[in-house]
Amino acid sequence: MTYLAGLGLAFSLIVAIGAQNVFVLRQGLRREHVGIVVLICAASDAVLVAVGVAGMGAAATAAPLLVSVVRWAGAAFLLAYAILAARRALAPGGERLEASADDAAARPASSARTAVATSTRTVVVTCLALTWLNPHVYLDTVVLMGTVGSTHDARWLFAAGAATASAVWFTALGYGARLLSGVLARPGAWRVLDGAIAVVMAVIAVSLAAGA
């Protein structure tokens, strides 16, 4: 169950459309350096989750009261995240992913086109920047995943589940991009996805609060 908890929470956090996911999709559509992009994203998540779980585990031993405070803060954050996801799911419009006719680019309909990658170096630098310079990545992995992971006795099983989710997601996103492009072009698909995210986040928030 601990492994599945890490797997489920990680999936809930990483499947929402964002700059990193759009970049992975774009590379998949172009069939350009997909393997290195998937490896960077999955390995980065694994490292950050491990840092979060280890850090929060040490905090639990040194200051149990701090962990209780963080647990409630995590529950509040997850509930707020669930509410935002639910609002997106219930909105009449919604974000969608658009691919050009020649599959040369992919981007959120409401944002600017990502930088064109023309070499392995450019792709690596761009992918690292989108991953390590994004504050939400630290909030999701180090803080949130670390907090939830520290509530489990077998916290490294939780971390392993989260790392598995990242590897599976980014692999599917990169290598299945051409198959997903038609589906993700529909706003309704993201509304369903946001609805599922809202439910999972709410359930985890309640479980965190109940265990406080």
In sequence order, what are the residues at sequence separation of 6 or more whose Cβ sits closer than 8 angstroms to the Cβ of residue 13?
140, 141, 144, 145
Q: Quick one: tokens of 25?
A: 């999709």
- Residue-level pLDDT at 37: 95
34-45 residue pLDDT tens: 999 999 999 998
Residue pLDDT, tens place only, 144-183: 787 788 777 788 888 899 899 999 999 998 998 778 667 7
Predicted confidence (pLDDT) at residue 105 exceeds the cutoff of 50: no
Q: Residue 211's pLDDT band (boundaries 50, 70, 90)? A: low
pLDDT category of residue 109 using cuts at 50, 70 and 90: very low
More confident residue, 123 or 58: 123
Residue with tokens 């707020």: 80
Alpha carbon separation from 177 to 9, 19, 118 (Å, rounded):
23, 15, 19
Top pLDDT among 132 and 103 is at 132
CA distance 74 to 148: 8
Single out the residue of 133, 124, 135, 158 nearest to residue 46, CA to CA: 158
pLDDT of the residue at 164:
92
Q: Pick the residue with more confidence: 95 or 22?
A: 22
User: What is the rounded CA–CA span in Å between residue 190 and residue 184?
Assistant: 7
CB atoms within 10 A of CB 184: 23
Read off the pLDDT band of 204 (50, 70, 90). Answer: confident
The count of structural domains within the chain is: 1
Domain that holds residue 116: 2-210
DSSP state of 15: S
d(C-alpha 38, C-alpha 96), whole Å: 22
Return mean pLDDT, the chain: 76
212: Cβ contacts below 8 Å, ≥ 6 apart: 68, 71, 72, 75
